[in-house]
Amino acid sequence: MTIKTDYSRFDIHDTLTAPEGSAKILEGVGRTGDIPKFLGVLAGAPAAIRAYALARHELRRGVLPRRTRARIALAIAERRGDSYSIAQHARAAREAGLGLDEISRARSFTSSDPREAALLAFLKELVESESRPSAHLAEEAREAGWSDEEILEAIAHAALNDFQSLVANAAALPQDQTDPSVLPAAA
């Protein structure tokens, strides 16, 4: 009997096959559960996985609420048509307490929460525009209660999630069957 399997366009490394510069990061992730395929692929470039891990670590220590980070991750993955990351971010968003309706809204850069919607509208124009976003969108985000620190951090989350989606799409990653607590989502 033939069994059809999903594949990646790049090698998906584990702790035994990863280049020396990536193995420690994968070992750390492996202690908490399965290694997500995204990180297994990214391990093929030690500098890239180190940069991703450092940026993700620092942003997790930031000021944005987990639910906001989840909304941003979903919006970016949807924009990129990245089914791998959408599935991961949706699981992480549910763990963060977002309902299915709110997850659906986030995938369209919106929210039922006016404060969240203002930030997502700014980010949407930022990532979809070929030039600078309209000044009024940044002001609306501020008027909704977002500080400059929070807005700048949201931009950093959008960039990090865009990087993940670029890699996931380039690799044509199949879905992970893993514990969402170790997902590379912006959660």
The pTM score is 0.88
Give the mean model confidence (pLDDT) for residues 53-69. Answer: 97
pLDDT for the residue numbered 177:
61
**Phi, psi dihedrals of residue 154, rounded to the nearest 5°:** -60, -40
Which domains, from first to last, does the chain contain? Answer: 20-60 (no CATH), 66-177 (1.20.1290.10)
pLDDT in tens, 8-39: 899 999 999 999 999 999 999 988 778 899 99
Q: What's the chain's average pLDDT?
A: 90
Which two tokens mark 96? 């963060």
* Residue 146 CB neighbours (<10 A): 22
Residue 84's identity, in one-letter code, is Y
Q: What pLDDT sits at residue 130?
A: 86
pLDDT of residue 8: 83
pLDDT at 90 over 60: yes
Q: 46 Cβ partners below 8 Å, 6+ apart?
A: 19, 20, 21, 22
pLDDT of residue 179: 41
DSSP summary character for residue 101 = H
pLDDT higher for 8 or 70?
Answer: 70
R_g over Cα of the chain: 17
